[in-house]
Amino acid sequence: MRADTENTVAAIEKSLDLLAQRLDWETAPHRLEEFNAMVEDPKLWDDPEKAQKLMRDRQMLVDAMDRYSSMKQELSDNIELIELGEMEDDQDVVKEAEAAIKALKARAGQAEIEALLDGEADGNDTFLEINAGAGGTESCDWASMLARMYVRWAEKHGYKV
11: pLDDT strictly greater than 90:
yes
Give per-residue pLDDT as tens, 24-61. 989 999 999 999 999 888 888 888 899 999 999 999 89
- Helical H segments across 40-156, by residue range: 48-88, 91-116, 136-156
Query: How far apart, in whole angstroms, are the C-alpha atoms of residue 94 and residue 109?
Result: 22
CB 124 within 8 A of CB 28: no
User: What does the domain layout of the chain look like in residue ranges?
Assistant: 3-116, 125-161
Percentage of residues in the chain with pLDDT exceeding 90? Answer: 64
Distance CA 76, CA 73 (A): 5
Query: Average pLDDT over the chain, rounded to whole?
Result: 90
Spatial CA neighbour of 16 closest among 98, 102, 111, 106: 111
Residues near 71 by Cβ (< 8 Å), separated by ≥ 6? 12, 16, 19, 104, 107, 108, 111
- pLDDT band of residue 97 (cuts 50, 70, 90) is very high
Domain 3-116 has CATH 1.10.150.130: no
Measured CA to CA, the distance from residue 118 to residue 112 in angstroms comes to 10
